[in-house]
Structure 1
Amino acid sequence: MNHSVLRLSVRESDGPRLVAALAGAMDWHTAPQLREETTRLIAADRRLVLDVSAVTFCDSSGLSALVQLRRRALDAGGSVVLAGVPAHLLKLLEISGLGPVFLGDGAEEPEEPDGPHDLW
C-alpha cells in the first residue's frame, strides 16, 4: 500500500512572517498531519507563509486543511499566504475561487456573489 507523505520544515525569516515549506502530497492521508503541524505554527506566529513549491499533489482534503488553517490564523489576528505555488495547485486555487485569498497578502475574504453565507 502506497501512502502519501508530507514533510514540513520551518525556515529562518528576515521578515515579520514565519516561513514554512511543505513537500509531498496534501491529501486525505496527510490532511490531519497538515492541520496538526500548522496549528502549532500559528500558535507560535500568527503570520505564516507556506512555501508549497514542493507539493506534488493536493486534493479537496488538502485544500480544506489550508482553509481551516487560514480560519485559525484569522481568528488569532494573523494570516496565511502561499508562496511558490506550482501550476497544479494554482489551478485548484483558481477553480475554487481561493486564489486571491491565499496568493495575496492573506487578508482578503472570498467573494460571496449570492449574499452572505459561509461556505468554508
Structure 2
Amino acid sequence: MNHSVLRLSVREADGPRLVAALAGAMDWHTARQLREEATSLVEVNPRLVLDVSAVTFCDSSGLSALVQLRRRALDAGGSVVLTGVPGHLRRLLEISGLGPVLLGDGGAEAERPGGPHGPP
C-alpha cells in the first residue's frame, strides 16, 4: 500500500519565531501527523513560520490541519506564517477561500524571496 509521506523539520529560530519546513504530501494520511508535530512546535513557540516550498500535494485534510494549527497558535497569542508557497498550494488556498486566512498572517513578508527572514 502506498502511503503519503510528510516530513517536518525545524530549521532555525528566527528572532522570536520558530522556522520549520514541511516536505511531502499534506493529505488524509499525513494530516494527523502534521497536527501533532506542528502543535508540539506551537507549544514551544506560538510564532511559527512554515516553509511549504517542498510540499508536493495538499488536499482538504491538509488544509484543515493548517487551519487547526493556526487556531492553536492564535489561541496562544502567536501566528502561523506560510512561506515558499508553491503555485499548486497557492491556487488551492485561493480556490478554497483560505488564502486570506493562511496567507494573511505573513502579509508582504511571506511574498519576499526567502520568506520573512529573506532579503527585502
Q: Classify the TM-score, shorter chain.
A: 0.7 to 0.9
**Normalising by the residue count of structure 1, what TM-score does the alignment of the two structures yield?**
0.84
Q: How many residues are paired up?
A: 107
Q: Which runs of 4+ in 1 moved over 4 A?
A: none
Asked if 1:6 is matched to 2:13, the reply is no
Q: Which moved more, 1:52-61 or 1:98-107?
A: 98-107
1:99 aligned residue: 99
Distance in structure 1 (CA, Å) of the matches to 2:17 and 2:35: 19
The equivalent of 1:49 in structure 2 is 49
Q: Aligned-pair distance for 1:26? A: 0.2
SS at match of 1:105: coil
> Which residue matches 1:83?
83
Distance in structure 2 (CA, Å) of the matches to 1:106 and 1:98: 13
CA-CA distance at 1:14 after TM superposition: 3.1
In the alignment, structure 1 residue 27 sits paired with structure 2 residue 24:
no
Alpha-carbon displacement from aligned partner over 1:26-83 (angstroms, at most 9, x marks no partner): 0000000000001100000010000000000000000000000011111111100100
Partner residue in 1 for 2:112: none
Trace 1:100-115 onto structure 2 (pairs within 5 A): 100-105=100-105
**1:13 partner SS:** strand
Give the number of the structure whose alpha-carbon radius of gyration is greater.
1
Residue 114 of structure 2: aligned partner: none
Q: Which runs of 5+ in 1 are unaligned?
A: 108-120
TM-score by length of 2: 0.84
Provide the C-alpha distance between the structure 1 equivalents of 2:13 and 2:7, rounded to a whole number of angstroms. Answer: 19
Distance in 1, matches of 2:14 and 2:32, equals: 29
CA distance in structure 1 between the aligned counterparts of 2:14 and 2:96, rounded to whole angstroms: 32
User: Is 1:40 aligned to residue 40 of structure 2?
Assistant: yes
